[in-house]
Chain A
Amino acid sequence: MDFSGRVGGGRRGGGGGHRNVDEFGRERRDKPHQRKPYDRPARGGHRGGRGGAHAAMGHVGPVDEAQEIESRLSSLIVKVGDKNTPTLQNNLEALSVVLEKDCVKHELTVMRTFRQCVLELPWKVTVYSTLAGLLNAKNSETGEKVVTLMHAVLSASLNRGDWGSVKVLMRFFALLVSTNTIAASTLIAMLDTFLAPLAGGVKVSASNNCYVFIVLSTLLWAGRSLQEHASAELEQRLELVSKYVQAQVEINQGNALSTVFHDVPPKGSNGLAHLLDVVRAVAASSWKIDAIYAPYEMFTAEFAQAKQHALPALELPAQLAATAFYTPSEFLQLVPSPSDQLVRKYVMQDFIADTLTQLEGNRKDCGKCLMQIHGLCNEDVCSVMTTVQHPEDIDPESTLVFEYMMAEVLFSFLLQLPEGLYREMYYTSLAIELRKAEPVILANVFETMVENIVARVQFIDVECLNRLSNWLAVYISNFGFQWDWKKWENTASEAEDSPKHRFVQETLLKLIRLSYLDRVRAMLPDSYASLIPAKPPAHNFKFTVQAMDERTRDVSVAMGRCLKSKGTVEQALAILQEHYSQWADIDDERRQTLAREMLVEHVFLLGSKTFSHMLNAIEKFMPALQKFGDSAEAKLQIAQVTEDFWLRNPQFFAITIDKLINYRVIDPATVIAMLFDNGHVGSWSKFHYWEILHNTVKKVNMRVVQLQGRLEAANTAANAMADDDVPVAAENQTAESVEHVEATLAQMVQEQKDVVVSTTRHFARLLSSDSGAAGELDRAWLHGRFKEFLRTYRVQIMENAPVLESEVFTAEASSDVRQAFEDVRKLSV
């Protein structure tokens, strides 16, 4: 229904298109379910829906009309080539005519839409490179504008170290050779920029891994035209990168620190080597990629007369940390796939991965786009699941299955080593969106993925298993806690620290944290009873649980009363003093120890209700806690009391430790001493100890980074002041503050060093001693956590390599401990 002609607000005559307004002439609100991913009324970067973007809608006149034309133009550019249809060729031709005509008038809109299409819809690169080629063939000025803009965007991305965009843009430029918009030699020059660091000889490094990866990705798509126009140059570049990959493989082959699954002979885990295989396979079939429709092949005649544009030289980023480079890694094979479809599978998964990267800012639309990627596929390239099919009706070994490929990429990202590109939660919430869009199909697909991973659970890297557990708990909690628990029913009968038992149990504990015990228990078969706690998580207050003598009870009662009735720090301290000073039979130190325990237990009891209560209690009694935490031993005691108090609530244990560090009641060093206590031998499989370790180390690292930022700011301010003529007093003040920040930073860097060295020392000590772990399984967990620690903090480890080498990784250390250090060294080249 369209009332716009009858009732006020509608535009008279003209246009003819139905406008989406209601009877009052107001813009109709979007219904999300009718929206395509990038279909939205708003322009100019606003969020869809109401909002200011359509403020001009009420006006009638040229502004309105221009806006409508522009929004139609952009929508045409965005939507062209969504699907591989017979009309696509004509559509592209028609669109290029329209754009060529309107480009002058609506240049900004056209250009920025085109720019974003290339960046945000990477799987349609063949479409947009063709469109650019057609524009160029029709009007070389327009063509030049497009090409130079995209080149400037590429330069900026490169400068920022935005590798996702660099990769996507380089692929676009690769295809511009096919559309005769740039010369083969121009592309070769661009590739040579990335290869320049190899000029003096092949040297494996994080930055070169990244550069070679981009070159190979580009060659995959550029090969066909380069072979035609610059085959000698192509061969040379290919030879150079092959040499590099070989060197890289020699160094990193079988590196246990970057291997997700240890069950396969270590062919996997090397993204570069795999990509080189793919490129060679494409080369062997005369560089033809048949996975998706390549419209530029239809316009050879048009392109023949086009003008090629020269481009300025690219520049590599000057100062980027080794960790700021993209680490190539392979897509994990989690479902069988036809072995003769290497190239097609890579091409599809590469598009899926690029989309995941480029649309990270909006997981909802990213999910919708992902489901459309197969739209441009040529016939018979991959099958797409349907709801009426039974999952077992599709044989993934005889055909590529789109949903499996997509899920494999998602899990490869989740399990990526040495670390993922984004927070784990991205992959969780993206999976949730995907399943919401295709409830039946993707529920099955994700279940298959998880089951296939869990089937290899004894071979999986410990950190990856931890990530999968986190993923699964949030995923399940988003779908009514439904999961086919029956399939893992034998778990309870396995050893408690077997990988599977621990994985299932930790996942259940996470589920309980996200909801509550009864909710989770209700979902589980009876055989799971031993895997979950019998009672809801609670504190373990010492002075009610344990039998105590009369005088202890007296103190406890007095303290309880005082704290409950909002007593002050001084009052609490007075009570402790008053009671314990009368205990003549024990020495001062012992009295102090007892008083410390009494205080900490009662403060925690006061704060045991909620997280906020805990913060309040610690905040209020901070002076007393700090006073009692006056030595390393005293701090360790506080940490141990914390563990004991929260014995049956690991979440609160972790939170409380975290906050005690924040309030400087205990140090990071305290936490490390507490965690690696011999009392924990036999419990290395438990996830929460390592959650606490990482919270702590990350906090220290974060403080260093923050202080570095502050120092920079202070320096800038000081310099600015020195430049101006400011009174001497003010200048001194700034100088002091720079000094102050410098001193704090130095202290923090020392702390960081201590944390890294002492943690490594503890790991090595336990792993090199027979009593460091209770059996094979316990030791395997500890060793897995050691690897996790080394690779996560490899920068800090390498900074302290000399000390570690001379003091920790000595001949006395067990061989697998020393091997892990070798591995982290290779990983950090």
Chain B
Amino acid sequence: MREPAGEPEAETREVPFRGGGFAPRPRRWAGPLVFVLLIGLLEWGTRTGFISSLTLPRPSAVFATLVQLWQSGALAEHLLPSLQRLALGSLMGISAGIAVGVAIGLFSLVRAGLVPLVAALFPVPKIALLPLFVIWFGIDEGSKNALIALGTFTPTVVATYGGVDNVDRTLIRMAQSFDLSWWSIVRKIVLPGALPAILSGLRVSLAIAIILLVAAEMLGANRGIGAYVLEAGSLYDLERLFAGVVILSLLGIASSWLVSRAEKLLLAWRPR
């Protein structure tokens, strides 16, 4: 009840519930619609000459280039070496990153020793080191794998030890009270607790791996999606350039989907 504030006439009215929040609701059609509108606009613009052929390629021509890539077998020829570099490089970088990240999270000495080193390595533009990598690891696959490995290593380390740090302390204290062994605590509480953060770090690492793929294929690669994009750029062949960019985007979507699958599988224990 309100105090009557001097006003004699107290009107009662119904107030609708307003606290609905800004919860996003599923709108499945919106994403594809944006793509369709944008591509339609580009197609119209390039066909009418509103957008010159110098500025952007015609989307249908890009699609035709993709179809031709697929039919001629060139797609596999470029995709397979790239996927191999991505897989090998990121496997090395991510597994080393998780190992170092967990060690930093668990041991104070390792943390004191390695966190400054990782912080120093992180902002170094790996692309600038490419010529050096060629001298160290050779012009063939070695330098390419090493570049992707180093590029994925640092973000994985940071995500991993961040995840370890954020594991619920009360759970660890409880386990200690129940006299669980150190190894048992790490295996049953720390690692599962850090897993969500590690997996979300993986999304960033894999995106970086794809970015670095193009850089890695700058030196001495005749085959590969990155080499294909770079070649198209230097020939100013916009259709092939955009076809390559579309393939890189699809790789990004595929890697993100893989991480989502891994999250569903590995984090099934989490309460919904």
- Co-assembled chains A and B: no
Q: Give chain B's interface residues, CB within 8 Å of chain A.
A: none
